[in-house]
């Protein structure tokens, strides 16, 4: 049994990180274990920006987007010296285990820390990108997808009014999940993702044909990893001569009050992470697969590339 653990959030913030950290803290306290909060991710650990937490420290945060602990992208963590310093700052305070809530990069940093120092580590997938191998779900992806849907609904109104082509670029880094699910549920005509090749000339020809047959408007959802929305929009406009506009949704899709799904799942995953860490388990990531909480080997999670669900890719083609 560990007696003292710490929690941090790292990488891009995501709605539900707060619920996850809250669950880690309250579970640890319920089990009679000390719990430290580290502000500003790995950067904060290197700067020793950490404090022992009480139950009230996580009051009034479950409904908030972002992360009350703060987050960062930290170059120094990519060096063995940086990670060794972080380890020292943990052990100096008697902290015996660490819970890392973050995306693929943060979990990679956690995997290296564990290999190099042997300190027990449990990870939680926290990113809107839904790009962590072994889990169908990452904390925040549901809220982000809902934000995108809201934007798609609004873009439809104006696209239809003007008979325009609208290209919407969404986030996801190298993963097309956000584009795919929001494109399917928003009824987009074309969904461009980095996992699948696409032929823009063919798409343009199809668009021209569709307009000739009376189509009023066309919506294209582009994952940022599949190309620049601006460039794709410009290409479509030049090739088809259709009235085309581009919208880049940007960081709006990272914020906002988390959905019920993100709150409940983040809470469950946070509880499991704390219990596992306290009981001395290490090198695991808790995720969701086929509607259930699953534990994934931390090193597998970072050494494998997640693929997009082929059923979703097929569905997108059928519904087009």
Ligand X SMILES: O=P(O)(O)OC[C@H]1O[C@](O)(COP(=O)(O)O)[C@@H](O)[C@@H]1O
Binding residues: 12, 22-26, 73-74, 103-106, 127-129, 156, 164, 171-173, 187-189, 213, 215-217, 224, 245, 251-254
Q: Which does 183 bind (CB under 5 to 8 A by kind): Mg ion, ligand X, ligand ADP, none?
A: none
How many residues sit in the footprint of ligand ADP (CB under 6 A)? Answer: 17
Residue 241 CA, distance from chain mean position: 36
Residues 261-300 close enough to bind ligand ADP by CB under 6 A: none
Number of CB atoms found within 10 A of residue 230's CB: 13
In this structure, are residues 97 and 5 in contact, taking their beta carbons and an 8 Å threshold? yes
- Nearest distance from residue 245's CB to Mg ion, in Å? 29
Interaction between residue 164 and ligand X (CB under 6 A): no
| Residue 109 makes contact with ligand ADP by CB under 6 A | yes
Residue 128 as a binder of ligand X (CB under 6 A): the answer is yes
Task: Write down the residue that tokens 């404090």 correspond to.
Answer: 51
How would DSSP label each residue in 203-253? HHHHHHHHHHTT---EEEEEEGGG--HHHHHHHHHHHH---EEEEE-GGGG
Q: Which residue is nearest to Mg ion (CB)?
A: 103
CB of 38 to ligand X, least distance (A): 17
| DSSP reduced 3-state for 72 | coil
Compare residues 43 and 173 and give the one whose CB is closer to ligand X. Answer: 173
Out of 67, 111, 127, 147, point to the residue binding ligand X (CB under 6 A): 127
Q: Is residue 77 a contact residue for ligand ADP (CB under 6 A)?
A: yes
Closest CB to ligand ADP among 98 and 220?
98
Minimum distance, C-beta of residue 44 to Mg ion, in the bound complex (Å): 19
Q: Is 60 a catalytic residue?
A: no
If you count them, how many residues does the chain have? 320
Out of 5, 9, 11, 306, name the contact with ligand ADP by CB under 6 A. 11
What distance in Å separates the CA atoms of residue 74 and residue 185, rounded to the nearest whole number?
A: 35
- Does the protein bind ligand ADP through residue 105 (CB under 6 A)? yes
Give first-to-last CA distance, the chain, whole Å: 54
Nearer to Mg ion, 103 or 183 (CB): 103
The residues, any chain, with a CB within 8 Å of residue 279's CB and separated by 6 or more, are 1, 2
Beta carbons of 113 and 86 less than 8 angstroms apart: yes
Q: Which of 305, 275, 288, 294 is nearest to 108 (CA)?
A: 305
Q: How far is the CB of 126 from ligand ADP (least distance, A)?
A: 7
CB atoms within 10 A of CB 101: 35
Give the one residue of 26, 254, 263, 299 binding ligand X; rule: CB under 6 A. Answer: 254
Do residues 50 and 38 lie in contact, with contact meaning Cβ atoms separated by under 8 Å? Answer: yes
Question: How far is the C-alpha of 177 from the C-alpha of 162, rounded, in Å?
Answer: 29
Range 282-296 burial, b when 16+ CB lie within 10 A, else e: bbbbbbbeeeeebbb
Spot the catalytic one: 129, 131, 142, 262: 129
Residues acting as catalytic residues: 129
Residues near ligand ADP (CB under 6 A) are 10-12, 42, 73-74, 77-78, 102-106, 108-109, 112, 127
Question: Interface with ligand X by CB under 6 A: which residues?
Answer: 11-12, 103, 105, 127-129, 171-173, 224, 254
């Amino acid at each position: 049994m560990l007696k003292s653990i710490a929690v941090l959030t790292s990488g891009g913030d995501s709605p539900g990180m707060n619920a996850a950290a809250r669950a880690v803290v309250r579970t640890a306290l319920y089990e009679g274990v000390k719990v430290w909060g580290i502000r500003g991710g790995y950067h904060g650990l290197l700067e020793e920006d950490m404090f022992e937490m009480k139950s009230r420290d996580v009051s009034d945060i479950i409904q908030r987007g972002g992360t009350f602990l703060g987050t960062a992208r930290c170059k120094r963590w990519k060096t063995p010296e940086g990670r060794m310093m972080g380890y020292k700052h943990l052990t100096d305070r008697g902290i015996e285990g660490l819970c890392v809530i973050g995306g693929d990069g943060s979990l990679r940093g956690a995997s290296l820390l564990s290999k190099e120092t042997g300190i027990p580590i449990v990870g939680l997938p926290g990113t809107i990108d839904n790009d962590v191998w072994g889990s169908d779900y990452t904390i925040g992806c549901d809220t982000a997808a809902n934000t995108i849907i809201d934007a798609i609904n609004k873009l439809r109104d104006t696209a239809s009014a003007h008979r325009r082509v609208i290209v919407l670029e969404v986030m996801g880094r190298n993963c097309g999940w956000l584009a795919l699910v929001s494109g399917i549920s928003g009824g987009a005509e074309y969904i461009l993702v980095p996992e699948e090749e696409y032929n823009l000339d063919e798409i343009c020809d199809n668009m021209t044909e569709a307009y000739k047959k009376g189509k009023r408007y066309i919506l294209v959802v582009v994952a940022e990893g599949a190309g620049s929305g601006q460039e794709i929009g410009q290409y479509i406009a030049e090739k088809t001569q259709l009235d085309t506009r581009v919208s880049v949704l940007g960081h709006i899709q990272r914020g906002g009050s988390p959905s019920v799904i993100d709150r409940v799942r983040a809470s469950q995953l946070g509880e499991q992470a704390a219990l596992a860490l306290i009981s001395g388990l290490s090198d695991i990531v808790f995720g969701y697969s086929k509607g259930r909480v699953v534990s994934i080997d931390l090193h597998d999670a970072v050494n494998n590339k997640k693929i997009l669900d082929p059923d979703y890719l097929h569905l997108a083609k059928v519904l087009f």
